[in-house]
Amino acid sequence: MARSERLLTLLQVLRRYQRPVSGASLAQELGISIRTLYRDIATLQAQGAAIDGEAGVGYVMRPGFMLPPLMFSQTELEALVLGFRWVGKYADTALTEAATDALAKIGAVLPSELREALETNTLLVGPRTVPEQESVDLTFLRSVMRSQHKLRIAYRDANDVASQRVIWPFALGYFQTTRILAGWCETRQDFRHFRTERILTAEQLDQRYPRSRTALLRSWREARADLFTPDKVKA
């Protein structure tokens, strides 16, 4: 392993630890001697890496330190570009703009040879089928999910039957032809999936739902994730 690659790997390893980790553990994980590790730590600290600690005590990287863009390999850049292009085509306006801005930020700080690889990337995303116009703002739905509040919706199903539901929204799926909101439905006492173009109105309630979003997602994956497809939506 080249030394530059080893230094970047060491930074990535340190990011995984919330508490000080011994030099011996780091050296073992990287497959290097303890003396080499101490030299690498000193080099990174001299270059501005926010690493606290010392030999015999342990090391930890302070929160907020950003890894340099040189960490990206050609394949990683291709994955990033393809992902950003998919988001740019299939996500809602806010996420599309965010993806474009994020890719521009990455390109601005890359060295010239990697910037050229980014700009000349030829991995493309196929054409999108425009879904039916949505009445609800997906940025709002994502905000409700993050805050873990209950959501009251007016919904029109595939048979054009309208209903009022109180749900605990925890996931939003983006597909080529539609988007689907997953949530626990208080009316059905079960997980349900709602096509966003059929949500007529949505109102955030004051109450937060009693289970964490992570716990709901875990239970949903165990019970109903196989139905999270546009042609199997059950509301």
pLDDT tens, residue by residue, 136-158: 999 999 999 999 999 999 999 98
Q: Is 183 exposed, middle or buried (0-12, 13-18, 19+ CB in 10 A)?
A: buried
CA pair distance 144, 203, nearest whole angstrom: 9
pLDDT at 66: 58
- Residue 211: what are its φ and ψ, rounded to 5°? -110, 150
How much is the pTM?
A: 0.66
CA pair distance 186, 165, nearest whole angstrom: 7
CA pair distance 70, 72, nearest whole angstrom: 5
Q: Is 136 exposed, middle or buried (0-12, 13-18, 19+ CB in 10 A)?
A: buried
pLDDT at 229: 67
Residue 56 gets the label, from left (phi > 0), alpha (psi -120 to 50) or beta, of left
User: Which pLDDT band, with edges at 50, 70 and 90, does 123 fall under?
Assistant: confident
pLDDT for residue 68 is more than 60: no
**Tens digits of per-residue pLDDT, 4-62?**
778 878 888 888 888 899 999 999 999 999 999 999 999 888 877 889 987 778 899 88
pLDDT for residue 189 is more than 90: yes
CA pair distance 212, 160, nearest whole angstrom: 32
Strand-pair partners of 181: 172, 194
Question: How long, in residues, is the chain?
Answer: 235
CA pair distance 156, 175, nearest whole angstrom: 19
